[in-house]
Every structure is written in structure tokens, then in C-alpha cells.
Structure 1
Amino acid sequence: MNLLDRESYIHKMKNNFLFVLFMTSMTCWGQTAASTRHWVFLHEAVFESPSWSPQRGQAALTPAAVERRLRQNIPLRATDYPLSSAALTQVRATGAEIYRTSRWLRAVSVVATPAQLEVLRTMPGVAHIQPVAKLTQTVAEIHPHAAPSSHPEEGVQSYNYGQSLDQVNQINLIPLHNAGYAGAGINIALMDAGFTGADVHSAFTGAWSQGRIVLTHDFVDNDTNVFQVGSHGMSVLSTMCADLDGTFVGTAPEANYFLFRTEDELSETLVEEDNWVVASEWADSLGVDVINTSLGYTTFDNGIGDHSYADLDGKTTVISRAATAAARTGMIVVVAAGNEGASSWKYISCPADADSILSIGAVDGMDLRAGFSSQGPTSDGRIKPDLGARGVSATIMKSSGQVGTGSGTSFASPITCGAMACLLQAVKANQSTYDIQDILNVVRQNASQASKPDTLLGWGVPNFSAALSAMGLEEGQTVPTWALHPSGSAYLLRRLRPTASVTVYRYDGTGRLLEEFALEPGLGAIELRSFPGVTLLHLVGDEEEVLKVPAF
């Protein structure tokens, strides 16, 4: 199935949707990241009527986000729709300032006085109030020396990796690149600290010239300038995006990137969790496929007391709940496990404890776990981390614009994230429908210690070529069942091979069902009705497929 033309897609996102995101997720622009804030969790029906449902409105999703759900058979849920306007009006009536809104949590973060909080607590539609946690980052040191010379590359390859050859080859990703799967058409969002240098350093020139740095937003300062206040995010980005022939090539050099600054690298390493939650919801709404976050959190001030190991169950901290929610929208979420393995804490950080995501530990060039790499299990007994990748002397771009090395799960995570984008590209090119949890499980089951996973490196170092083969994708694209052909001023839906009975559901770009009809068994074609705008066909029979119908 063909993707939307990139230029048309970017134009639609920027001009038709970003204003809605700004208005629904951020309303208090004057507050700083240091302000004390509280989450207010809402029972919205109390403010509306007992029969009220958020799904009566329009989902806060672009066509790309709706398509991602359809291709994974994920229905639209209440959490895909904005919060009740009546509820927001009543919260503001107390004098509290709404800073963020979260459709996933059905909550708002507010800046409020103690008296205003007391008024909110007495409101029948308020379920619960708790402080917004301030999370302490564990940021890996970027070693200030040049990367060592790489081994000579042998054979014919799509890229001349230079100094990053070892970390790309370690996860057996080169066969995917050689097959044409380098992340093209896959949208990756990075939630990180400052991206200083990403707008000028040579590693990113190609991405900028090709329009693959799609969107930037600073959730700390509430503007679009992420190229300031630290360069950690830039170094993380380089492990995926870099394309310096013969010097440094990342794991997804052809992907599209959304750069979100959610952490203040210079403010005593404190970040407030509502920034991360809203950035993740933006990623979902904009049609992002893969999320990476390389800054984990091991302690926080929640106004009650620091969290304990018992809280690492994927359900207690807000940021981990949001990571799970992100995965359940069909995005692949990749998270650094943390760098506390040699400390008294030793365990993974938040949100690496979340369910349905990949948490990544660090290994050296011999596949041995780094001593600093945080370990599991989660407090409810799940194996974490899931995988390990190069996190000892990983090749990165330094703040100076020179290629060097850095250590930490901060770099193991994006190296893996970029590889997941390449694998997802292969899946989407060959399959109309897919399930990201199946993809994650295939990667785990083809990793270096899949037969005996542990709580130090999980299933081990991934082998992406083996995962590709296990999914039956190494032979190239399969023959499709369906095709769309222009016919005068309409389109014909044709079957390229016989099928059993098929039910066709047709949706607009917001996920609203336009029509439903059945096709009899056989090879017959059908002329499609005209609807304004791009529409999506979900064909359900012995197999499922999703097709995009251009406007006509």
C-alpha cells in the first residue's frame, strides 16, 4: 500500500492539525518548567450528562494516525478524543490555570493555589488529584575523545559505515539496509533534552535537505526551538539519523524525525512528567510509528515521597502508564533501561518498567553487559530489560560536531530504535496489516540469549536479519490481493486473486465510518463511491488489508 506523498503529508499535518494540538494540550503559556503543578483526574460525564461520550466528537488524530490503527486492527477509543470542554471550563472557573491536557489519562495538569486545589477536590467530577512528579534523570557521560578507527568493510554494501560499522553490524542490521530497508517512510519521535547542533552539524545535512526533520517542538519553553540548552538529544539522534559516507552512518539513515525537547538538561536534571506525556500524545496524533526516549528516571519528588522498587510495576508512575498507552496506540516505544546498574539502586528506571515496550540495556563490543546498565526484573516479576545494544563507547556525534564515542543506555536505546524502524519498514512494505507486539516478540525470540532470558540483558543482543527471516520477509514483497485502479472520475477496487466473502469498511481521515458493504466470493471488482478527501478501506475476510483511496 502506497504511503501519502511526503510533502502533502507534512503540509496537512502542519496546517490542519498543529493548531488543534496546541489548543488542546497547552493552555497556560506563561508558566515555567519549575512551577509546581498538579494532575487533576476527571470523570467528564459528571460535567456533561450520564450518557455523554467523548467519541461523539472528532478524534485528535491525523489520517496517518488513523491509518496506523486500522493497519493493526486497533479500534478508536475514548482516549483518542479530546477532553470534555465543559470539564475544562469548570476547572478554569476555580481560578486554576490549565498547563497540559492528557486525553490518555483523562486528566489536566494545573497551576493552582492550595485554596484552588481544595475547591477542585470538592468538585463531583474530580476523581483524584496528585502532584506532577519531578523526575531525576540519569544521563550518560559523553566521552570527549574521537572514535577509534573501524575495521575495513568487506563486500558490497548500501552504506560505507565508517566508525559506526561495529555497532550496526553487532545487531546484524546491514542485511536490512542492503535490502533497501533503512527506515524510509517511518516516522520516529525523540523525547529528549536539547538538540543543539542538530540544525548545523554535517551528520544531519542530508535529513534536512530531504525534508526528513519533519517537526520540532520544545515542551519546556513552549516554542519550536529545540536547538539549545544542551546537546544530549543531538547525540542520541546521531546514532539513528547520521549519514556521513565513510565516517558515520546511523541505524535509520532514511527515516523521518520529530524532535521533542521534554527535559531541561541544565536545571539540576529535573523534568516534569506532564511534558513527556503530552509529547507522546502529540507523537500519536501526528502518525509517528516509533518513539525513543533515552533519559530514564530513577527517583522523583511526587510531593508525597520518592518512589520505591515496588512502584516499578509499569502501572504506578504516570510516565510509565503513558508509555504503555503509547504502545497500545500501535507505536513501537523504545526506552533506555538506565545507568544505575553499579549503584545502590541498580534497577531499571521509569518508564523502562512499562508493559508492551522495549527497554534497552548496554553492552560492549563483545556483547558483554556494561556494569552500569540497569537490571530488572520489574516489581511484578516481568523480565527487563528486553534487549541490549552498544552502550559502551558507542559512536556518536559530539557537541563540537566531531564524531566521537559515548557510553550509556542513552545510546543503546536509539541504536535499537533505528533498527526497529528498518524492520517496521520491511513489515509495512510486505504486509497490509501487522501487530507491533508480534514484531517485538519476533525480535526478542531471535536475540542472542532467547533460549534463556535473564534480568540483566533480557533476551540479549538482537539479530535483525534473523528477525526479518523469521517473519518471512527476506524474499521481498508478496503478491497483493487488492489493487485500486482509476476509472474515469472514480476508482475501481479489484481483486488480484480470488477471495472468500469480504466486508469492506470505509473511513474518513478522522476515523469516522462512512460506509460498510459486503463483497461476494470470487474475483469481481467494484466501483467506489466518491467522498471528499482521502479515505481508508479496511477489508476484512480470511485476511485483512487496508488501502488508501485518493480524493476524487
Structure 2
Amino acid sequence: MRFLLFSICFLLIIPVAKGQAGSSTEEQKHLVYFTDKAQSPYSINSPEQYLSPKALARRSRQHIPVTPRDFPVNPAYVADLKKTGVTLLYTSRWFNAAVVQCSTEKLAELQTLPFVRSSRSLNRLANPAGKSGTLSIDSMTLASTYVEAKLYGSAFHQANMLGVPALHDEGFRGEGMAIAVFDAGFPGVNSVSAFAHLFQNGQVKATFDFVKKSPQVYANNAHGTAVLSTMAAYEPGLMIGTAYKADYLLFGTEDAATEHNIEEVNWLLAAEYADSAGADIINSSLGYTAFDPPSTSYTYPDLNGNTTIVTRAADYAAATGMLVVVSAGNEGNKPWRYISAPADADSVLTVGAVDSLANHASFSSYGPTADKRVKPDVVAMGQQVYVVSSSGRLSRSSGTSFSGPIMAGMVACLWQANADLTNMQLLERVRQLGSHAANPNFTIGYGVPSYARNVTSIPKHFQDGITITNPMTDRELVITMGESWQKESAVAHVYDTTGKLLLKQGLPAHQKTHTLSLKPGRLKRGVYLCQISSDSQNVTLRFIKL
């Protein structure tokens, strides 16, 4: 499909090129698959040769072994390919393949080599004749908007819908998590004040444009800038993103001017880079169904979780321990209607869109997958959300392109708070935090997940022999003491998340139930801590005031 997954639809006017695509005079890009990784100089016993310490730590934490699929392709095969005179652009570890650019005759020669298993055309011309284009913006309001006098600015609601402010209040803002963002460009990110902290704190860990084969990503299509802002922006009073203290890897994989299979391969290569660099999360607001001729478009039966290049790449990425967050697509009110690839992958978190009232956004793509699995998995606000433009202005736009990264930022903070979870356990946790977890459907999946449900999904909170009511709906907190606690007197302290003491109350011995009256200092909605201590025991419990 020729669009990024949001409603800033860039319309391209392209003159018809002379000649037939695929003729022997044109050099196209091809994916050449190798037969094996036999006699590889790499070993599972020396993974530090091709994986970073952070990547190895991520795998070790989740008990994921290094396998030959992680090996780079055999250097001998690469050397022999180069001897044929083809232009070798990239190699893929997971697909055991190389991206080459050559004529049809040269491709036929490659296919006779004993280590080449097969090939497929990526149908992307090296230098399309007469290529020119005009971009027009469809529905993004670029006029400055009124900024609410809140810390999060106008973007408060889109974050609060997922419980992000509560996560931030508890100290989980994405520190130590690395998010790889795949998009079409990030112009303005290196100059706009809302992103200045990323560079001041060294939070941009890597950049690369796989379309232009260059480390320069701060140009091209502004879609990536808007996407990144929902997670990474930090300008109090204007906008605060959902994971503004996370580290970021910014990768250009999408050529917004055309749509060919080469972009799926770019996605694959970026995922391999993200893996080896130690990323924890991939966010991709890109999706593929329809391609420009002569590439062959996908059909709905292809969205079975196993067919498309990008879907297979996404599942391989998940197999390394990364959580892959992808936008569902904007086809809900169009003839296609369904999700796009890689949203059909069984190991990714597919995110649809809702409006500010948590109603399904009409454009948000529907499930199920072709093999009848529930998709999208969850939803977040994607209609009329706030983003920062490449000029630094606050704007509003719509699309699953934004519900996806808003969710990815929340998930980064949630994973920071639950570092013992594997990526698949985290994915399931997010589903179970959904508003429709008990009855998922093909429209909004498991619903809107909220961090508040991480605490309130059970009626009481139990820890070390003490139970407290949670959530707290009035101004009294009921504490039930276990047998060991009843033997001695204790003291309860209630704090807000800044550490401010709100209440201190004694708890006499030999009582099973105590009531803490918080009437003198009426609590606002939010997360609080209750510390209970005696001469021999100490415990801190968390509760929410609704």
C-alpha cells in the first residue's frame, strides 16, 4: 500500500517511465538466498563477534539461545558474489540472503552458483527514469494549537488513557529501555526543542537510512518525526511523550515515494540491526498490502502470519527477545478493510486506533488474520492525537501510525517496571490489561490496556501477610493484617509518589482489621504508597485512588 499508517497521505505525481520494468537494460534489486551457513567462521560459542553485549544480555535474561540463524552470512559466499561484478548492497542474517543490484542476465548467472538456492525480484529500479514528485498533505493540521497548562500539554489524554502518567509518577519513564523506530525519515528531530534532551543525554544510540544507505536520517518524510514525538518528546507544557527517557535507534526503511518489496527487506535489515545493537522494542508504523507495478500485491489470504517478507521478519525479530509493536493499518473504511503486514504476525503486538472516548476509529483496520487469529491485539488513541511537527509546532493528526508508538512507549515503561518478564509474557500482560480482555473481538482486540489495571485487576493487594483495599474509591483505606502482623503493634505511613508523607497512623497489636482515615488530606486521583512497619517486619504496598 502506498501510505504510511496515518492520515497524512502523501500524494505523489510520477510520470510514466519509458521502457518496460524488468527489461535487460535495467538493473533491479533482488534478494538472493544462499543454500546454507556451512563452514561458517562464526560460532555460537563466540556470539560477541556479531551481537552486542546488550543484545546478549537481552537474550540471556529471557533464556533465548544463540543459534546459527544469528550468524552473519558466509563471507566466502559474499566474496564470490562480488567477483561476478554485481552490486552487493546488504546481507541478511536471518534470511541467509543478500540484496544485490544487477541486470536480468547477471541474475541468471548468479543462479548457477552452487551456494545460491533461489532469488526473488524486489522490483525496485536503481535509477527510475524521470522520477519527480510533489507531496501534498491530506489531513494534518499544521497550525499551532492551544496548549493546555498541564505538564503533558494537550497530549495528556492520549497518554492518560493508557495510565502513562501514573507509570511516570512511579519512576518508570523508559530509562534503560531501547526502542528502534522504523519509518520514512525524521526531519527536525536534531533541531526541534522537544527532542533536544535526546541529544543532551545521549539517548539516540544509532541512526541509519536503509533506503539511501546512509547514517543521515534527519531528512526526507516527516512521518517519522511525528511518530517519534508521541514517545520521545519532552517539552513540559507543550508535550511529553510516553517514554521520553528511553534510548532510541532511528532507522529509515520506507521510501514514501513508491511501494515495492525492497521496503520489506529494508524492514528486515533494520530489525537485524536493532537485534544486534540490543534494542528491546521495535516500533513500526508501516504496513504493506498493495505494491506498485511490476511488484505483486498481497491478497488477504497472504496475511496468515507466515507468508509476507515483513511478517516473517517481524516474527524472527520477536524470536530474539524484542517486543515488536506494529500499527494495524488505516483500511477500516476502505475496500481492503483488514490489517496489513506485518500486523498479521503471531508474535507482534498489533495496535489499532480509537478516538478520545475509546470508540473504534472508523479508519482503523479490522481483524482477523487470514487464519482467524484475533487482531488487532489492543488499541490506543489514534484519532486526532497530538504530535510535534518537523518545525516544532504542536499539531493534530489521525492514524494507527500514532496509536502504535503511543502504545510502544507505554509498553517500554511497563517493561521497565516488570523487568523479569519475557517479551511474550509482556505481550500477554498488555492484552490482559485491556478493557475487553475477557471478550476480545476483531475490531479492538483486547481493548484499551491501562496501567491502572495492573494494580486494580484484582480487588485487593496482598503482600507479606497484609491485604489492602485497592483501588481506594472513598477516603478510607482498609488494611487486613495477617497472623504474624497481629502479634505486635505497627505504624502505617502513606506517601505520594514524590515521597511526601500524607498520613502517619499507629496500628495496635491484636487487631485483624485497621482503617486509615485520609479525610484530613483528601487524595487526588493517582498512585500512592502505604508503608507498614513493626519492630520485626516492613512492607510497602501500592494503591490507586480513583
| TM-score, normalized by the shorter chain, greater than 0.5 | yes
Task: Specify the alignment match of 1:239 in structure 2.
Answer: 230
Residues 402-481 of structure 1: pairs in structure 2 closer than 5 A: 402-428=393-419, 431=420, 434-467=421-454
2:362 and 2:282 mapped to 1: Cα distance? 26
Contact 2:434 2:446 in 1 (8 A): yes
2:89 partner SS: strand
Residues 277-426 of structure 1: pairs in structure 2 closer than 5 A: 277-300=268-291, 305-426=296-417
Contact 1:361 1:389 in 2 (8 A): yes
* Structure 1 residue 222, shift from structure 2 partner: 1.7
Q: Which amino acid aligns with 2:418?
A: V
Residue ranges of structure 2 left out of the alignment (5+ in a row): 1-25, 126-136, 464-546
Instruction: Give the number of the structure whose alpha-carbon radius of gyration is greater.
Output: 2
Task: Specify the alignment match of 2:58 in structure 1.
Answer: 68
Task: Specify the alignment match of 1:184 in structure 2.
Answer: 175
CA-to-aligned-CA distance 1:317-356 (integer Å, 9 cap, x gap): 1111111111110001111111111111111111111121
1:337 and 1:470 mapped to 2: Cα distance? 26
The 1:471/1:403 distance shift into structure 2, 3 A limit, reads farther
Q: Which amino acid aligns with 1:246?
A: G
The 1:192/1:455 distance shift into structure 2, 3 A limit, reads same
* Structure 1 residue 140, shift from structure 2 partner: 8.1
CA-to-aligned-CA distance 1:356-382 (integer Å, 9 cap, x gap): 111111110000111111111111111
Query: 2:187 pairs with 170, 187, 196, which one?
Result: 196
Number of residues paired by the alignment? Answer: 424
1:178 and 1:131 mapped to 2: Cα distance? 51
Contact 2:42 2:72 in 1 (8 A): no
Q: Which amino acid aligns with 2:362?
A: G
* Structure 1 residue 124, shift from structure 2 partner: 3.2
The 1:469/1:93 distance shift into structure 2, 3 A limit, reads farther
2:164 and 2:138 mapped to 1: Cα distance? 25
1:37 partner SS: strand
2:289 partner SS: strand
* Structure 1 residue 201, shift from structure 2 partner: 0.9
The 1:133/1:186 distance shift into structure 2, 3 A limit, reads farther
The question of 1:219 aligning with 2:217 is answered no
The question of 1:144 aligning with 2:142 is answered yes
2:84 and 2:445 mapped to 1: Cα distance? 48
1:175 partner SS: helix
The question of 1:90 aligning with 2:80 is answered yes
Contact 1:147 1:395 in 2 (8 A): no
* Structure 1 residue 57, shift from structure 2 partner: 6.3
Q: Which amino acid aligns with 2:284?
A: T
* Structure 1 residue 52, shift from structure 2 partner: 8.7
Task: Tell me how large the CA RMSD over aligned residues is.
Answer: 2.6
* Structure 1 residue 87, shift from structure 2 partner: 1.7
2:207 partner SS: strand
Task: Specify the alignment match of 1:40 in structure 2.
Answer: 32
Contact 1:132 1:302 in 2 (8 A): no
1:374 partner SS: coil
2:340 partner SS: coil
- Per mean C-alpha deviation after superposition, the further-off stretch among 300-309 and 403-412 is 300-309
* Structure 1 residue 223, shift from structure 2 partner: 1.8
* Structure 1 residue 38, shift from structure 2 partner: 1.0
The 1:134/1:249 distance shift into structure 2, 3 A limit, reads farther
Q: Which amino acid aligns with 1:108?
A: A
* Structure 1 residue 461, shift from structure 2 partner: 0.8
Contact 1:54 1:83 in 2 (8 A): no
Contact 1:191 1:259 in 2 (8 A): yes
* Structure 1 residue 133, shift from structure 2 partner: 6.0
2:331 and 2:69 mapped to 1: Cα distance? 34
The 1:56/1:94 distance shift into structure 2, 3 A limit, reads farther
2:167 and 2:431 mapped to 1: Cα distance? 17
Task: Specify the alignment match of 2:95 in structure 1.
Answer: 105
The 1:457/1:307 distance shift into structure 2, 3 A limit, reads same
2:42 and 2:201 mapped to 1: Cα distance? 42
2:153 and 2:385 mapped to 1: Cα distance? 13
CA-to-aligned-CA distance 1:367-413 (integer Å, 9 cap, x gap): 01111111111111111111111111111002331111110001111
2:381 and 2:100 mapped to 1: Cα distance? 40
2:190 and 2:323 mapped to 1: Cα distance? 26
* Structure 1 residue 134, shift from structure 2 partner: 6.3
Aligned-residue sequence identity (percent) comes to 40
* Structure 1 residue 227, shift from structure 2 partner: 1.0
1:371 and 1:304 mapped to 2: Cα distance? 29
Q: Which amino acid aligns with 2:356?
A: G
1:268 and 1:324 mapped to 2: Cα distance? 25
Query: 2:114 pairs with 124, 129, 137, which one?
Result: 124
Contact 1:141 1:408 in 2 (8 A): no
Taking structure 2 as the reference length, what is the TM-score of the superposition? 0.73
Contact 2:41 2:74 in 1 (8 A): no
2:186 and 2:225 mapped to 1: Cα distance? 4
2:369 and 2:432 mapped to 1: Cα distance? 20
Contact 1:140 1:409 in 2 (8 A): no
The 1:77/1:419 distance shift into structure 2, 3 A limit, reads same
Contact 1:140 1:339 in 2 (8 A): no
1:122 partner SS: coil
The 1:141/1:437 distance shift into structure 2, 3 A limit, reads farther
CA-to-aligned-CA distance 1:251-288 (integer Å, 9 cap, x gap): 001111111111223x2456622221111111000000
* Structure 1 residue 43, shift from structure 2 partner: 1.3
Taking structure 1 as the reference length, what is the TM-score of the superposition? 0.72
Q: Which amino acid aligns with 1:435?
A: T
* Structure 1 residue 56, shift from structure 2 partner: 7.0
2:439 and 2:264 mapped to 1: Cα distance? 35
* Structure 1 residue 197, shift from structure 2 partner: 0.7
2:234 and 2:176 mapped to 1: Cα distance? 16
